[in-house]
A and B are shown apart, each in its own frame.
Chain A
Amino acid sequence: MKVKNLNKSKLPIVRIDNSLEKYKGKVLFKDKLDKANDMLKTVGLPKSRKQS
């Protein structure tokens, strides 16, 4: 498959960039995460087709 077509496939080509490792383990969007956790505390999850 040509690279051009690969780029259009649903699964993208992802280049690993070690400079992004500095963000690992950090919460970059704290307000959003806090809001999500608050919401999920009461709402939980819908029933899934898959069990993890």
Chain B
Amino acid sequence: MKLERYEIKAEKSLMIFEFVSEGPKGKIHKLVQFGETNLKDLFNLAFGDKDLITGEINDSIVSNNNDSDKVLATVVATVYAFTDKYPNAWIYATGSTKSRTRLYRMGLTKYLTEIEEDFDLYGQRVGEWESFEKGVEYEAFLVQRKNT
């Protein structure tokens, strides 16, 4: 994915990343977390806006900062950084709403060829995982870095 992206910062374990979205709404600090789930080696990918005053994280806010492609490319870059450190990790992701999940699906579909060069990508549908296919509506997504 050769899209423009934001500079990324992280803590040492590379499980929490931060970047700053810049657009008409100003600078919005975003946090990305790869959270440990109850399944070994499976991490939940979540990201949201950080309120600089309260320190709270909001993952349901719609920023409308006119940079959704750049934000998505930056989140994908964190997936590369994370899976470079943890090559056996599975990463689970879903949107906080159906429309956001659809937005993620559209992003994955748009760059599917590039993504599949480096990752095995699955979509969850009717309680099952299947290889991700264009045009199919999924409830959640799962990726794992391919062997290099």
Q: Does A14 contact B (CB under 8 A)?
A: yes
Q: Which residues of A are found within 8 Å of B48, using beta-carbon distances?
A: 28-29
Total interface residues on B, using CB and 8 Å?
Answer: 54
- Whether B92 lies near A18 (C-beta < 8 A) is no
Count A-B contacts at CB 8 Å: 130
Q: Does B133 contact A (CB under 8 A)?
A: no
B136 to chain A, nearest CB (A): 15
Q: Does B25 contact A (CB under 8 A)?
A: no
Residue of A nearest to B142 (CB): A46
Residue of A nearest to B145 (CB): A50
Residue of A nearest to B4 (CB): A8
* Chain B residues engaging chain A, CB cutoff 8 angstroms: 1-2, 5, 7-18, 31, 33, 35, 37-42, 44, 46-48, 57, 59, 77-78, 80-81, 84, 88, 90, 92, 94, 96, 118, 120, 122, 124, 127-130, 139-140, 142, 144, 146-147
What are 26 A-B pairs with beta-carbon distances under 8 A?
Answer: A10-B1, A11-B80, A14-B81, A16-B10, A18-B11, A20-B16, A23-B16, A24-B11, A24-B15, A28-B16, A28-B33, A28-B46, A29-B46, A29-B48, A33-B37, A36-B92, A39-B124, A39-B139, A40-B92, A43-B127, A43-B129, A45-B42, A49-B144, A49-B147, A50-B144, A52-B40
